[in-house]
Structure formats: structure tokens, C-alpha cells
Amino acid sequence: MAVLLPSAEHVGLAAVVTLALIVAWDAYWLTKQRSDVPELGRLPNGGFAWESEGVHEMVRQWGNLGSMAAMMVLPWALLEVSNTPVVYAVLWDVFLALHLISLLVPKRYAITSTHLFADGQRYAWERLRMAKRQPKRRIMLLRNGWGPFGPLPLGGDADALRVAREYIKAMEQARSTTFLSTESE
């Protein structure tokens, strides 16, 4: 009995539509970051907010940038073998280029007593922890329960990252103190 596979055109269309949805989703979160972090510097509630520059995002996202470059090239090698229309490879590269650009757009970050704001998202401190080994030019947090897919790097200039590290360590200390006091009750 022969198994019928979907046509290369249908697979190409599905891949491009999926990528377009991912790019649109990320664009939404990028636009949201200005409303989530409207002011920079020390915050009235005792937190801290800062903004990165494109070069900081390049340092922060270097691994993703390399992966996307490879993802842009790979379909071209497979077009002829798979009989996929060229238009899907072109659209794929256009959407990946837009996504690549979105990775380099300066981001706003904020630390409050309850949450970290990064990439337009809000993360509760209970879901995050500092990585044991810290890179020199960014802060590496890990999302609990995500395993190897959980790194959450933060970008910014050296001064902003130094202050942010102090706030993150204070949040971790406060969390462990709260945990110990509730455990002893």
C-alpha cells in the first residue's frame, strides 16, 4: 500500500505561514514593551528599568543570529530536490530577515519586586533563576522547567547590567528568605 505524502507546495506554504505567524507574534510583543516599561532608571516601586542598544542585542542574540543565517541558506539547497516553488524560499527568507531584524531592535527591560520584564513579556521571579556561569557582556537567567530551552539572556550596557545584577541578586535573596521563613512556620 502506497503512502501519499503532502505536496512540496503544501509543505512550503505551511512552513511560510507558520513562520509568518511567529514573526507577527514577536512583533506584537516588541510593540508592547514600551507600554510595559514606560520609564527608565530607578523605578518608584524600588525596581530598575533599562534599555539596550542594537549592539547589545547582537551580543545577546549571537547564537540565534547564526542559526537564522543557516535557516535562510538551507532551503535553497533543497529546492530542486524537493520540487518546492522558489516563491516559498523567497518568502521564507523575507520572514526570517524580518525576524532577524526584530532580534536586533533595542529592547527595554525592567526588574520589579515581583517580575522581570523582557522582550515584551512578564516573568514571575519564581519562574526564574540566575545561571551559575554568567557571560561577561550579558546576564543569563534560566526559566525553571524549560531545561536546555530555558535561557533568557538580558542585554544592555555594562553599567545597566551591573545594576540589574544587584537587583536580581536581591530578588533571589528575598525569595530564598521568604521561602525559609515560610518553611520554618
More confident residue, 63 or 176: 63
* Average pLDDT of the residues in 73-101: 90
More confident residue, 33 or 87: 87
Distance (Å, whole) CA 31 – CA 156: 19
Percentage of residues in the chain having pLDDT higher than 70: 94
Residue type, 47: G
Question: Is the pLDDT confidence value at 174 over 80?
Answer: no
Cell numbers representing residue 15 in the block: 512552513
From first CA to last CA, the distance across the chain in angstroms is 67
- Mean confidence (pLDDT) of the chain: 86
Q: Is the dihedral of CA 183, 152, 166, 122 positive or negative?
A: negative
Lowest mean pLDDT among 94-103, 141-150, 176-185: 176-185
Cell numbers representing residue 99 in the block: 525576524
Res 61: pLDDT: 83
Question: Which of 120, 100, 111 lies closest to 49, judged by CA?
Answer: 111
| Lateral strand order in the sheet of 151-154 | 128-130, 139-143, 151-154
Res 89: pLDDT: 93
Give the chain's count of helices (H) and strands (E): 5, 8
Distance (Å, whole) CA 174 – CA 180: 10
Query: Using an 8 Å Cβ cutoff, are 100 and 23 in contact?
Result: no
Please identify which residue in the block is written with the cell numbers 515581583: 114
More confident residue, 129 or 5: 129
Res 183: pLDDT: 46
Reduce the DSSP state of residue 113 to 3 states and report it. coil
Q: Output the pTM of the full model.
A: 0.77
Reduce the DSSP state of residue 38 to 3 states and report it. coil
- Around Cβ 43, how many Cβ atoms within 10 Å? 16
Cell numbers representing residue 61 in the block: 542574540
